[in-house]
A and B are shown apart, each in its own frame.
Chain A
Amino acid sequence: MAANAFDRIRSIVLSVFLTVALTVPALAGAFEDGVAKFANDDFPDTEEAIGLVANSGNPLAFPIISALQDDRLSADPDTKKVYITRQDGKIIDAATGAPVDKLPDNAASVRLNNRLRRSVEAALGSLTLLSPDPAKRIAAARSVFKSHEESALPVVEGALAKETNKAAKDAFAEARAAILLNTSGISDADKLDAIATVKARGDQEALALLTDLSDQSPLVTKAAASAISSIQSRLAVWSAVQNAWYGLSLGSVLLLAAIGLAITFGVMGVINMAHGEMVMLGAYTTFVVQDVIRTNLPGLFDYSLFIAVPLAFLVAGAIGVLIERTIIRFLYGRPLETLLATWGISLVLQQAVRTAFGPTNREVGNPSWMSGAFELGQITITYNRLWILCFTLAVFAILLAMLRYTALGLEMRAVTQNRRMAASMGIATSRVDALTFGLGSGIAGIAGVALSQIDNVSPNLGQSYIIDSFMVVVFGGVGNLWGTLVGAFTLGIANKFLEPVAGAVLGKIAILVLIILFIQKRPRGLFALKGRAVEA
């Protein structure tokens, strides 16, 4: 308690001291002198006046300078009084701030030329440097960093000395360094310090500042060059991180779309061309859920996805089981025929959805917790992509656990490894098949819920994912979920790293060609099943 009180007293004393220290020059009448000089309406006097007023620390300085910029500052040449016409039309005395009824008849606005306008802008920039809001101070310091106007140096140094906010202090130090680097007659030691400060900032602007430096001593030039290369390598790392993040995000989408396919293909050897349509059904389930919520219970909108996920699983899963029972089970052992039949199913489902919901895109909204973005270092991460990545990993983990620890999972693995032996051990393989197909389809439905958040919900939604999902499964190898995981993230990241080099479409083509070549080397994918299961 005592310590707390002491702190308070100390901070009060400190602030009083600082205020006094800063306002002492103002008390000497510099502000009043400056204001009076405006009345001369003479360009050199006006310039001097701007400097005096801006550095006075007087609370009226900002209104005066901004009025000058907007042509709202008038002066009476006879009485040497200066008036501000405020934006709301009221008039005040510039020197005292006292309200005035109306402008004197012979008052004329203070004129500016281009040179003065630049001084006015610089002065305004330095005035916001002293704003009580730290965010404004930082923004002002950033703009000084960019303009590195020499005249701002005293204000920046003054602000730096009394700044307590860590971020603002850094910004001021960087601004000061930028000015120092662009000022002649500064010692090399100071310039080297300044370069170190700018280097620590390490973004595009710092790079631009250092690249634009000229007429420096050899020592400084050398230090700047090394700082530039260090910043460039750091920026390269950040851009790699950015690409990696985009790649992870794309990989999570691919994984989500492919994981169900991996199950049906891996366990049953069934190529399900209607898989993409299961994803689409999941997305439309989300649309229906949101539609119902919008009209009946708008308050629940943020929870719509939590309702949609299990529903989409059930809808897609049920349709999957239905398809398996009525069509696919008659085609076991004939994979190419299965492929054609499921393609037919996909056409029917697409057209059915088109008939029911119309051919155009349906709007699926993002709940509040999925919109927006945040900054991490120098990259921007959107919440919806982040949540989809988490969701994908969660689905993957649950699926893995299910295959590992549940009875159905055990049976599924047994059927994958040796169907006949599993049947001999009393496993009802046809029931396992139906449930597996249902599970794979259900997961596709869940994927649809997630994809509805980042993609257009239209009857063609599934088509755009089906080839990519096949590539993932073929690349990763069947019968192994880890292969699918590695395949999805490898393809996602490779795609995003190729994109800046080759462009989006060429990058994709390159990936397809690489997969076609890769299949030559590893015809059964990265993580192939070994042993007798292969030729079965």
Chain B
Amino acid sequence: MMPHILTRSLDRGATLFVIVVAAFGILIPLSNLLLPSGSAFQVPTYLMALFGKYACYAVLALSIDLIWGYCGILSLGHGAFFALGGYAMGMYLMRQIGSRGVYGNPILPDFMVFLNYPKLPWYWHGFDMFWFAALMVIVVPGLLAFCFGWLAFRSRVTGVYLSIITQAMTYALLLAFFRNDFGFGGNNGLTDFKDILGFNVQADGTRAALFALSCLAIIVAFLICRAVVTSKLGKVLIAVRDTESRTRFLGYRPERYKLFVWVLSAVMAGIGGALYVPQVGIINPGEFSPANSIESVIWVAVGGRGTLVGAVLGAVLVNFGKTVFTGALPELWLFALGALFILVTLLLPGGIMGLIGRPARRPKNVTPAAEPAE
């Protein structure tokens, strides 16, 4: 069974992609750790941390592409799942600080001591154990997505309406997490981490491992997405994307298919967030802002919607551009980003992959699918 899925989902381009990501995931940490600093080929730690951040964004982009590119669900609130996964990991990291915090309280994180919490809130229990936190990284975004999706898809909320209420969802979470009495550190969020699984988060070795893990996460997420979209289920998803009502008339239950990919995608986003937090060293409510979620949609659009490789490429390229621009010409970044939104939607509906990849990727003897309706 397993080899069959693998051979089906790994065409030539996909194999090449996996190999490239794996090469990055192995070579960059090795060069950072083994080569002497100052060598021309040594990747400095700050750059590796930056690439690690891009890798997490790439996982988020994959999760968005899975639902938007293959199922036509445009989520403007996917950053919420990313941030929830991040918060779950952040809570574990906060508990690991222990008595090394500013106030030296062995149980309560610093901000709780500062805000006069008498004891740990019930939802913080268990986060001192890594396995529990890791489980929550999957369960919390998954559960929220399940409830939200179950309600939304069952009542056939589609198109822009769905986009708007996903935006409302992340906005509501933004407001909630900004509150001090919500128990997640208010607008400062969670930061000042020390250890992850006993390793210092600042150490080069830990960073290298985290980067390698992020690349692994891209590969795994990519393979899962490929497996989904090349399966029969994936065909139904594409049918739902192109005309949902026709699919329904053919006897499928679109809401079940949508719910499945929606939850899968939320869990992937959550894992991306969980890997993001230890590498960036902070998680705060700003991650919930609707603008962040929309920005991650544009990564997918730039790379090429409906091409998983494109999503990863778009996330890395746009964020690289952001790093360069905000460093060199900070005033121009928003102009550039805005122009990117406009130009990509107007002139480049297929994204970068539409420019370079499409002819090779489309099987010759199959009639081209109709253009996506939305």
Contact = CB atoms under 8 A, between A and B. Distances in A.
A535 interface: yes
B161 A523 contact: yes
A243 B194 CA distance: 49
Contact of A345 (B154, B159, B342): B342
B335 A335 contact: no
B346 to A, nearest CB: 6
B172 A512 contact: yes
A533 interface: no
Contact of B345 (A344, A350, A355, A524): A344
Interface stretch (B7-15, B33-41, B162-170, B225-233): B162-170
Main secondary structure of the interface of A (DSSP, over half): helix
Contacts of B337: 344, 347
B339 A339 contact: no
Contact of B298 (A335, A340, A355): A340
A469 to B, nearest CB: 10
Interface size of B as a range: 35 or more
A44 to B, nearest CB: 55
A321 B176 CA distance: 38
A331 interface: yes
Interface residues of A, number: 44
B154 to A, nearest CB: 7
A355 B331 contact: yes
Main secondary structure of the interface of B (DSSP, over half): helix
B169 A327 contact: no
A347 B374 contact: no
Contact of B338 (A271, A351, A509, A521): A351
B335 A351 contact: yes
Given A339-B74, A519-B155, A344 B342 contact: yes
Chain A CB within 10 Å — which of B161, B172, B345, B346 has the most? B345
A264 B331 CA distance: 30
Interface string A371-389: 0000000000000000000
Interface string A247-276: 000000000000000000000000101000
Contacts of A505: 175-176, 178-179
A529 to B, nearest CB: 13
Given A513-B172, A535-B245, A520 B155 contact: yes
A335 B178 contact: no
A210 B156 CA distance: 58
Contacts of A330: 346
A341 interface: yes
A516 interface: yes
Interface in B138-181: 148, 151-152, 154-161, 163-165, 167-169, 171-172, 175-176, 178-179
A339 B160 contact: yes
A350 B349 CA distance: 25
B335 to A, nearest CB: 5
B247 to A, nearest CB: 15
Given A470-B167, A520-B152, A347 B160 contact: no
B254 interface: no
A466 to B, nearest CB: 9
A412 B319 CA distance: 42
Contacts of B158: 523
Contacts of B161: 474, 519, 523-524
Contact of B165 (A327, A345, A474, A524): A474
Contact of A467 (B171, B339, B341): B171
B136 interface: no
B345 A519 contact: no
Contact of B151 (A334, A338, A517): A517
B301 interface: yes
A515 B157 CA distance: 13
Nearest to A505: B175
A455 interface: no
Contacts of B107: none
Chain B CB within 10 Å — which of A344, A515, A523 has the most? A344
A521 B156 CA distance: 10
Contact of A519 (B165, B291, B301): B165
Contacts of B168: 467, 470-471, 512, 515-516
A513 B167 CA distance: 12
Contact of A520 (B157, B291, B301): B157
Nearest to B297: A340
A379 to B, nearest CB: 28
B151 A520 contact: yes
Interface string A402-426: 0000000000000000000000000
Given A340-B294, A470-B167, A535-B245, A508 B338 contact: no
30 contacts: A271-B164, A330-B346, A334-B374, A336-B74, A337-B374, A339-B76, A340-B297, A344-B298, A344-B338, A344-B341, A346-B338, A347-B334, A347-B337, A348-B334, A348-B335, A348-B339, A351-B331, A351-B338, A467-B167, A474-B164, A505-B176, A505-B178, A506-B179, A509-B172, A516-B172, A517-B151, A520-B152, A520-B157, A523-B155, A523-B161
Given A344-B345, A347-B338, A523-B155, 12 more contacts: A340-B344, A344-B298, A344-B341, A345-B341, A352-B335, A467-B167, A474-B161, A474-B165, A512-B169, A520-B152, A520-B154, A535-B245
**10 tightest A-B CB contacts, nearest first:** A344-B341, A347-B338, A348-B338, A351-B334, A512-B172, A520-B155, A344-B338, A344-B342, A341-B345, A337-B345
Interface of A: 271, 273, 327, 330-331, 334-341, 343-348, 350-352, 354-355, 463, 467, 470-471, 474, 505-506, 508-509, 512-513, 515-517, 519-521, 523-524, 535
